[in-house]
Amino acid sequence: MNRIFYTIPTNIRYELLQYARPLSKEINLEELDCKKSWSRINTDKTFDEIVEIAKETTDDRNVFFMENNQSWLFINNQIRVCTFLQDILEIGVSTYTINPHNHITTQYFIFMKLDKKYLNEFIDKFKLTKAY
């Protein structure tokens, strides 16, 4: 699988997420809370709630933009059935909440899948560069 990651300037990370939202073919909102499950599950948090949590964390590496060659789109979040192979863009965030003892309690994730035809639009608009 050939994955190409892009560097996102820190000051536009959340603007990029909001820009990608209406262009997405699929958006998955998930959480990982080991008190509930040992794997990620769908969350009741909204897209905007997860973005706000991400803005509050100090980790500025939590937003990614990736060109994924030979990936797939899922039709069912529960069963995760592979529908077809296609080159896609994946944009997402991973963030977490912290309890009063400074321990991570729950991790939250946004995964967006977009048609690869938007790649140059994102590169031009957000001045993205390949990370490696």
Q: Are 98 and 104 in contact (CB under 8 A)?
A: yes
Mean pLDDT (whole number) for 107-114:
90
Distances (CA, A) of 72 to 32, 85, 86, 90, 126: 22, 5, 6, 11, 25
Supply the pLDDT for residue 69: 59
Instruction: Tell me the pLDDT tens digit for each residue of 33-74.
Output: 888 888 889 999 999 999 988 888 766 556 777 766 544 444
Q: Coil, helix or strand for 17? A: helix
Select the more confidently predicted residue: 70 or 91. 91
Supply the pLDDT for residue 132: 67
Select the more confidently predicted residue: 26 or 85. 26
Supply the pLDDT for residue 43: 93
**Would you kindly state where each structural domain of the chain is located, as residue ranges?**
2-127
Supply the pLDDT for residue 120: 93
The band of 122, judged by pLDDT with boundaries at 50, 70 and 90, is very high
Q: Could you tell me the two tokens for 48? A: 């905007």
Percent share of the chain, pLDDT over 90: 27
Using CB atoms within 10 Å of the CB of residue 81, give its burial: 0 to 12 exposed, 13 to 18 middle, 19+ buried.
Answer: exposed
The per-residue pLDDT of the chain, averaged, comes to 80
pLDDT at 106 over 80: yes
